[in-house]
Amino acid sequence: MILAHMKLHEKKESGIHRVQEIPLEELDLSKEYEVEKTLGEGSFAKVLLATHRATRTRVVLKAVHQELTTEKDFFREFHYSYHLSPHPNILCSYAVAFKAEKCFVFAQEYAPYGDLAGNVRAGGLSEEACKRIASQLCSALDFIHSKQLAHRDIKLENVLVFALDMSKIKLCDFGCTRREGTLVNKIRCTWLPFQPPEICEIVKNERYACKRSADCWQFGIVLFVCLTGNPPWQTADLIQDPEYSAFQRWLKRRTTKVPPTFRRFTPRLLRYFRRTFEHKPEKRPHVTEINKYLKDSWCVNKISHSATSTLVDASEGIARRADSLLYLDTILDDQRNVDENKNKLRKLLNSYGLETTIDQKVVTKRIWEWVMQCDSNIAEPAFVGSLGTETIRSEYIEMVDGTQFGRAILPQNIRLYIRNDAVLPPPPRDAKFVISKLSGTVRVQIYTATTYTLLIM
């Protein structure tokens, strides 16, 4: 079981690309290990938490199904996992490999707090935690790339957590790792938002040369998800995904409007994302680019630390796993941005002595004065519309292109709202307007020199 004759203790850089295949010993898993539980299971492998009976060492066993993989692929993953594990931010793999229960098995260290997928809450992590993750993950990838290797499957599930404040994280899963330039097939199990555009464009059974620039892209996606709790788009396809298309238009400076999902970031971090999410892989920077931005502020609106940094259940002392990992209410986030901009503008106007306070009572009074004025000039209504138990009456006085115009009497117990909360003079008594009803809401559009929009709730 201990592969001494492979000389695995001699981790020489020159031999990292020479994967050796040797006969594996067949073992009875239950006799050698006490299996506590299954930590995870995928299409090709399962991960078990176990204790070695002889040494009482707690390890994680990765068991790859023999029917779904070849010995060559297994030895490649085991080889890279072991030879890269000296790095402090790469999961440690032990010199233990064997066959058991129709599986190829090798042993690794145990991560007590699971992976990032189980720790990133809705809304993301704090900026400080994200910077710690970025620094460590960047270091691990830089080490891998220095060996002329590409990881090819960087995602939240492959980043393991050893400290809840994210001061210790490690990269794992080298099943897809290849030497740069190797012809490979598209990884089917990778979550679509993590795939760079050059891989999204690959058709079935088409081979392509793997490059480290794809790791840079996936690293950027991981960082974005950690900051927001949500991927920036569903697929990096200019035609199929409008969010990605909007980002690329902004990246190429065809528009000055920052995409909604990126508006929470400072100009410095936006610059990093511009470079990292470059559509053409040859234009992307090295993964160490992030080191230039670690001392900068990243978020315009600081993510609530109390809402996002509590990752441990105090009663059980274990990390919580969100039922739904990735979602973010971007509408509420946009509203916060609008409110902050309004406050900044109000302060600026006040500094010049301009009054910006709106008296909502005056607005309501003017609306009702206009409504009551219309009452005296209305003849027998030609139209009666029903809204619940209330009645809306209107007289149509002309037809223009099939659209009916007129004046209306509105019940006083129906609330009226003016768009933008603006203080506007009451509309003239002969103002033309359109009444429309949609899903229980009546909309009144008044056509005058100043456009009014009244909503009857």
Are 125 and 86 part of one and the same domain?
no
Of residues 301 and 136, which shows the higher confidence score?
136
Residue 351 falls inside a structural domain: no
The domain tally of the chain equals: 3
Most confident of 288-297, 332-341, 430-439: 288-297
Dihedral sign (CA 150, 156, 157, 158): positive
Predicted confidence band of residue 402 (pLDDT cuts 50, 70, 90):
very low
Most confident of 41-45, 92-96, 378-382, 431-435: 92-96
Percent of the chain at pLDDT > 90 equals 53
pLDDT at 241 over 60: yes
Are 133 and 272 part of one and the same domain?
yes
What's residue 368's pLDDT?
65
Q: What is the average per-residue pLDDT within 390-394?
A: 39
Of residues 432 and 40, which shows the higher confidence score?
40
Torsion of CA 97, 100, 102, 108, to 10 degrees: -40
What's residue 205's pLDDT?
82
Residue 158 falls inside a structural domain: yes
What's residue 23's pLDDT?
85
Q: What is the number of helices (H) and of strands (E) in the chain?
A: 10, 20
325 neighbors 230 (Cβ within 8 angstroms): no
Are 123 and 272 part of one and the same domain?
yes
What's residue 423's pLDDT?
41
Domain boundary among 292, 309, 332: 292
Give the pLDDT confidence of 177-191 residue by residue, as tens digits. 999 999 998 876 667
CATH classification at residue 96: 3.30.200.20
**Full-model pTM:** 0.64
Average pLDDT, the chain: 76
Which of 9-23, 101-115, 305-319 is predicted with the least confidence, judged by mean pLDDT?
305-319
Domain boundary among 259, 292, 325: 292
Of residues 186 and 313, which shows the higher confidence score?
186
What's residue 345's pLDDT?
74
What's residue 22's pLDDT?
80
| 359 catalytically annotated | no
Cα–Cα distances (Å) from 92 to 37, 47, 78, 81, in that order, read 20, 15, 11, 8
Are 95 and 122 part of one and the same domain?
no
For β-strands 432-438 and 441-447, DSSP reports them as: antiparallel
Of residues 427 and 141, which shows the higher confidence score?
141
Residue 338 falls inside a structural domain: no
Give the pLDDT confidence of 154-168 residue by residue, as tens digits. 999 999 999 999 999
pLDDT at 82 over 80: yes
Residue 329 falls inside a structural domain: no
Residue 197 falls inside a structural domain: yes
Q: DSSP readout, 162-199?
A: SSTTSSSEEE---TT-EETT-EEPPPSSS-GGGS-HHH
What's residue 319's pLDDT?
36
Are 167 and 280 part of one and the same domain?
yes
Q: What is the average per-residue pLDDT within 297-319?
A: 50
- Return binding residues: 62
63 neighbors 45 (Cβ within 8 angstroms): yes
Rg over CA atoms, the chain: 31
Are 64 and 156 part of one and the same domain?
no
42 neighbors 136 (Cβ within 8 angstroms): no
Let me know the angle formed at the C-alpha of 443 by 442 and 444, rounded to the nearest 5 degrees.
Answer: 120
Q: What is the average per-residue pLDDT within 72-97?
A: 95
Domain boundary among 292, 311, 344: 292
Q: What is the average per-residue pLDDT within 315-344?
A: 47
Percent of the chain at pLDDT > 70 equals 63
Residue 361 falls inside a structural domain: no
- Return binding residues for ATP: 62
pLDDT at 394 over 50: no
- Rounded Cα distance between 369 and 364, Å, is 9
- At 182, list the tokens: 């190797």
Domain of 431 in residue numbering reads as 427-456
List, in sequence order, every beta strand (DSSP E) within 3-80.
33-41, 45-52, 58-65
Active-site annotation holder among 28, 73, 115, 153: 153
What's residue 439's pLDDT?
43
Burial of residue 351 (CB within 10 Å: 0-12, 13-18, 19+) is: exposed
- Rounded Cα distance between 300 and 197, Å, is 28
Of residues 332 and 260, which shows the higher confidence score?
260
pLDDT at 438 over 90: no
Give the pLDDT confidence of 131-141 residue by residue, as tens digits. 999 999 999 99
Q: Tokens 């902004």 — which residue?
A: 250
What's residue 204's pLDDT?
80
pLDDT at 72 over 50: yes
Are 245 and 283 part of one and the same domain?
yes
What's residue 411's pLDDT?
40
